[in-house]
Amino acid sequence: MKTLVATVKSGGSQSQGQIIHDVLMGRLQRGEIGPGDRFVDTAIAAEFGVSRMPARDALMRLAHEGYLEPTTRGFMLPSVTHREILEIFDLRRLLEPRAVALAALSLDEAQLAELDRCLSDGRQALQSGNTELMFKSSERFRNGWVMAIPNAALKQVIQRYMTQVQAVRMLTFADRINHPLIVGGNARLYDAFLQRDQVAAADRIMRYIHEGETAYLNAVNAVGAKQKKTRKTA
């Protein structure tokens, strides 16, 4: 962190805001920011050792990109409705088969090695029952192949609905029954990447999306049943 703060201080306000934006984006992508977390520009400025303006610029940019939303007391993750999540699953079925097919041909050796490390971490998490590690390894795996999509416009669209994908993760990862599906889905996708098999990659992401939607609906039903039971006993 000391190195980061020194780097932030050495640039102009625009570079300061960019660095803060990128660090916060990384935290979002790693699942380190939850629905209850609130970000205030003065606190962010103090963390990075900069003035309030670049911190606010970074937060406003994240809000403009759809990753955060402004409130009367700072910035938070956007609230996502059940209908919006289901609509994103439909969108994923349309976009991601083509995206992984393109990524299958463009992933370089370093990127494949990183995906392999993510997969190893996921297997370790499955063995140890470490939900946090499972969450982070799955997030890194997805970000790894998304960043390899050579079509910049397609990659940007997929990144824009990351918040909805994150909301599904936060609801489904707590149930360890889903962990073998996550690791198995990533492993099959990785095998397709190794073979540079576009058809297999597209087929496997479709199956993965279907399994994710099923897990999400099961989690929603479980929450609903628990709430109903609580009301009856109240």
Condensed to tens digits (0 to 9), the pLDDT of residues 11-24 reads 554 589 999 998 98
Q: Is the dihedral of CA 180, 185, 191, 194 positive or negative?
A: negative
What is this structure's pTM?
0.71
Q: The tokens 């496997």 sit on which residue? A: 204
Fold for the domain defined by 2-76? Arc Repressor Mutant, subunit A (1.10.10)
**Token digits of residue 89:** 């699953």
Q: Which two tokens stand for residue 172?
A: 């489904």
Backbone angles phi, psi at 74, to 5 degrees: 115, -155
- pLDDT at residue 8, rounded to an integer: 54
Report phi then psi at 109, rounded to 5. Answer: -65, -40
Main-chain dihedrals φ then ψ at residue 169, nearest 5 degrees: -60, -45
Contact 39, 31 (CB under 8 A): no
Q: How far apart are CA 157 and CA 164, in angstroms?
A: 13
Fold entry, domain 82-233: Four Helix Bundle (Hemerythrin (Met), subunit A) (1.20.120)
DSSP 3-state percent helix, strand, coil across the chain (nearest 5): 80, 5, 20
Determine the Cα–Cα distance for residues 186 and 141; give it in Å rounded to an integer.
8
Instruction: Report the C-alpha gap between 148 and 105 in whole angstroms.
Output: 9
pLDDT value, residue 1: 32
Other C-beta atoms closer than 10 Å to the C-beta of 212 total: 20
Tell me the pLDDT tens digit for each residue of 197-220: 999 999 999 999 999 999 999 988
**What residue ranges of the chain are covered by domains with CATH 1.20.120.530?**
82-233
Mean pLDDT computed over every residue of the chain: 87
Q: What band does 32 get if pLDDT is binned at 50, 70 and 90?
A: confident
pLDDT at 144 over 70: yes
Q: What is the mean pLDDT of residues 174-185?
A: 90
Residue 166 pLDDT class (50, 70, 90 cuts): confident
Residues of the chain with CATH 1.10.10.10: 2-76
